[in-house]
Amino acid sequence: MLKIAIYGSRRQAPYKEKIRALLRRLALSDVCILMDRKLYRHLADDLGMSLPGVCEAPEAYADMEDVDMVLSIGGDGTFLRTAAWVGRAGTPVLGINTGHLGYMAPLSIDDAPEYVDCITAGDYNVEPRSLIAVEGIKTHGWPYALNEVVLSKDDSASMVSAVAKIDGIDLATYKADGLIIATPTGSTAYNLSAGGPIVQPSAPVVVLTPIAAHSLGMRPLVVNGDSCLSVRVEGRGHTFRLTLDGRTTVVPMGTEISLHRADFTVNVVQPHGAGFPNVLHDKLMFNA
């Protein structure tokens, strides 16, 4: 029997009937369904849904065995939290979009029930996505980023100086409001808003993009993904912010952060015909 775990945003009231249709289709396909307990209680208690055939999942993903796929119901923020929930397990994750653009959620909730046949038949592609591992500081939560790591000033501080090294060699001192270190997956997130390049998700690179640089000579930079980066943040304030995919830790000024590619990947499910060019054309209006 196929076993599927479901993780999702607790803002699903507008999609109640569509989620019900998806769960019904999974149950009729003889799928074992395990749902994150927060989503389960939101659907059952807050929205009053009956959930036949759906079991509450253990709090820790590692306590489940032999999960074939994880469904992430929500937007990109939900997908990032789903990736942290799955952790190192490597279970393929399919994003089902009930958010806004949904760069990482290629399947709409409208199409999800009909896609169950493809799931049960294994008729889909899986793309491994790299993550950035952070060392040298105790972070708030999971010390990995699927989108980006951001080192930025506190609200009350002036600009910071991010002194960066690559493989132990001095690279640059970024005088700016902050510095984004983005994965290829995250190149269409904060990096893009800050003027960084769009990168194909399979490219083995990392992007460094300053936020509101105080020098015309500071430009986004693409480096080898196997590089080891270190960044020491200096400034007039006492602390700066270290943010991994939206999870923020306040760090003493002068702390050096080490960053490198994680030794595992997040495996993203892509329906046939979906992928990077579709995201560019359909969601970013590339060449429109």
Active site residues per annotation: 76
Those residues whose C-beta lies under 8 Å from the C-beta of residue 61, and which sit 6 or more positions away, are 5, 67, 85, 86, 87, 89
Which H/E stretch holds residue 193? helix 190-193
CA–CA dist 193, 179 (Å, integer): 13
Q: How many CB atoms lie within 10 A of CB 170?
A: 9
Helices (H) and strands (E) in the chain, counts: 6, 20
CA–CA dist 58, 153 (Å, integer): 38
Residue 5: helix, strand or coil by DSSP? strand
Q: Where are the beta strands (DSSP E) in 51-177?
A: 54-56, 69-74, 93-97, 107-108, 125-129, 132-135, 144-145, 148-153, 160-166, 169-176
CA–CA dist 98, 277 (Å, integer): 21
